[in-house]
Chains A and B, each alone.
Chain A
Amino acid sequence: MSHITKIQTKIYNISSLAEAAEQLGLEFIENRRTFRCFGWGDTSCDHVLKVSGNSTAYEVGLKLSHDGSYELKFDDFDGGYGLMKKIGAAAGLLLQRYAVVEATRLARIQGYSVTESLCEDGSVELEILTEAL
């Protein structure tokens, strides 16, 4: 018997998020308290992700939630002037890359080896091997 578990990614590790963002062409700005967007609503946050080399693109605000996870705040109007191409619809690519970085980190802490591959549908697959299995 084995099992399959489905999980919706939540961001708990800010270091892994910063690494994931860098891989997507974003810069992590620690402790910046507002993020660039159209300007309506609450623009408060704890950290910011900005598109590297693009000063007109909107930004992602990272807001710490009560459960210890980070909420992603962003404005996708007109593609966020370049932001949405980097982070994907509903920030899906950013969540995907974060999950890859964090799962790989966790597996290596356990002493497991990890192989990453890209699927035709855009999914990323990780194979985690250990002699113990």
Chain B
Amino acid sequence: MIKIKIDKTGNIAIKVMGVKGAACKEVSAFLERALGQKLDEQLTTEFYYIEEETDQSGTETMLGEVS
């Protein structure tokens, strides 16, 4: 699955889940090439995503904000 979050300023965070190894980069390459200028990229683990995705209030956090 690819999740994309686009905020009200036009900033985009693209998250690829469930793909092992370097193939995860290929999955989203077609979006990253076409949507604009890459600002940052972080490699992370599936566990890290689960921790990041929902805060204690149950609301979604902005993808990619956690350093």
- Identify the A interface with B (CB < 8 A): 1-10, 12-13, 69, 88-96, 98-100, 102-103, 106-107, 110, 112, 119-129, 133
Residues of B within 8 A of A7 (CB): 11-14, 32, 35-39
Query: B33 — nearest CB in chain A belongs to which residue?
Result: A106
Residues of A within 8 A of B21 (CB): 1
Q: Are B12 and A8 in contact (CB under 8 A)?
A: yes
- B1-44 contact mask (Cβ, 8 Å, vs A): 1 or 0: 11111111111111111111100110110111011111111111
Q: A5-B32, A128-B1 are in contact. Are A122 and B11 (CB under 8 A)?
A: no
Q: Are B27 and A133 in contact (CB under 8 A)?
A: yes
Residues of B within 8 A of A100 (CB): 6
A92 to B45, CA, bound (A): 31
Q: Are B63 and A4 in contact (CB under 8 A)?
A: yes
Q: Are B19 and A4 in contact (CB under 8 A)?
A: no
A93 to B10, CA, bound (A): 7
Q: B62's contact among A2, A93, A123, by CB below 8 Å, is which?
A: A123
B29 → chain A, closest Cβ, in Å? 10
8 A-B interface contacts by CB (under 8 A): A2-B19, A2-B43, A2-B45, A4-B42, A96-B6, A103-B12, A122-B7, A127-B1
Q: Are B6 and A99 in contact (CB under 8 A)?
A: yes
Q: Are A92 and B8 in contact (CB under 8 A)?
A: yes
Q: Are B37 and A2 in contact (CB under 8 A)?
A: no
Residues of A within 8 A of B14 (CB): 4-7
A2 to B53, CA, bound (A): 14
